[in-house]
Chain A
């Protein structure tokens, strides 16, 4: 190989450079978020894994059912009735947007625009 003395150090520098995010963040900064769960409520409308993955879809389904189709009834889970509402249902148990919603949303860098209109509970 011609000029291996320049190419090999160059390659090493290049690899180190593009892997900056990996070694720079090694050790710190990757703590998974720990949302604070409500103390008095034990059950949610869906099992934890499902609600964690699907809550945004569920909220959209509720929104369309309630607002557009006028189906303003409740959903019954384990004999308990829940209104189909972010403000009137979810946030009644999860009383802190900062300690619940925002922990994961900030971590995952998603900025849902729910709160442009919907009101978070007073903290």
Chain B
């Protein structure tokens, strides 16, 4: 083909322009897709519009730490009610332990808030912790089978039929809210509740915010157990007129390690 320097430069220049422009367009498209993927489906829609979006439900809980400090029996009641209802086993060995809601010290629940001179109560007494039902749940993102997933009402559920026991979710959860069934749990359940299944060996389990009760219009078992004291309050965080939002407005509350960006739905009144 007959070509000269002038034509060669024209073609080269045009190709360079097309190349640069093309990659910019492709980059933008890829970036857009990447952002969409980085968020976990449902949470993307609700997390952005979180507070006060009418109609949308995001269940949450407030735990009044002071009430649990004052009455140590309260925590025991809540834990017992939950574990009794959900057939949570009681293993003799600590390493096999399964827990949905449990009592722990302040420094263990909030390790990101160390205090050189903690008050006596914080140093000696215990408060309940449970799954935070994060609005941006790392466990849901980690699960390869979608065995753990986010309901539209913000509850992070477990589908034990799908769990393959890979424990990615346990590694992903920054709050240690998940337990693995190393052994068959059934022989270690003291009083079987015949209205709720047990779990089997090889699945991960955790608090489900009593989704089976909540979605039937009832209160979670732990909240019900300590209802008189109002130490646990459950409700819809997205409803500005709900009791939980009223309490949040009136009290200074903290979340467990909020800097991780998981957006926990469990709030603590210190």
Contact = CB atoms under 8 A, between A and B. Distances in A.
Interface of A: 63, 67-68, 70, 72, 87-88, 113, 116-119, 121-122
B259 interface: no
Contact of B197 (A68, A117, A121, A122): A117
Contacts of A122: 194
Interface range for B: 20 to 34
B195 interface: yes
Contact of A117 (B149, B157, B198, B216): B198
Main secondary structure of the interface of B (DSSP, over half): loop
A68 B149 contact: yes
Contacts of A72: 212, 215-216
28 contacts: A67-B157, A67-B161, A68-B149, A68-B157, A68-B159, A70-B152, A70-B153, A70-B215, A72-B212, A72-B215, A72-B216, A87-B194, A87-B196, A87-B197, A88-B195, A116-B200, A117-B160, A117-B197, A117-B198, A117-B199, A117-B200, A118-B197, A119-B192, A119-B194, A119-B197, A119-B198, A121-B194, A122-B194
B164 to A, nearest CB: 13
Contacts, number: 34
Contacts of B153: 70
B39 to A, nearest CB: 20
B211 interface: yes
B89 to A, nearest CB: 12
B91 interface: no
Interface in B202-252: 211-212, 215-216
Central interface residue in A68, A117, A118, by most chain B CB within 10 Å? A117
Contacts of B194: 87, 119, 121-122
A119 B199 CA distance: 10
Nearest to A86: B197
Given A72-B215, A72-B216, A117-B200, A87 B157 contact: no
B159 A67 contact: yes
A73 B182 CA distance: 34
Nearest to A122: B194
Interface string B153-180: 1000101110000000000000000000
Nearest to A118: B197
A119 B212 CA distance: 17
Given A87-B195, A116-B200, A119-B198, A70 B149 contact: no
Central interface residue in A63, A70, A87, A88, by most chain B CB within 10 Å? A70
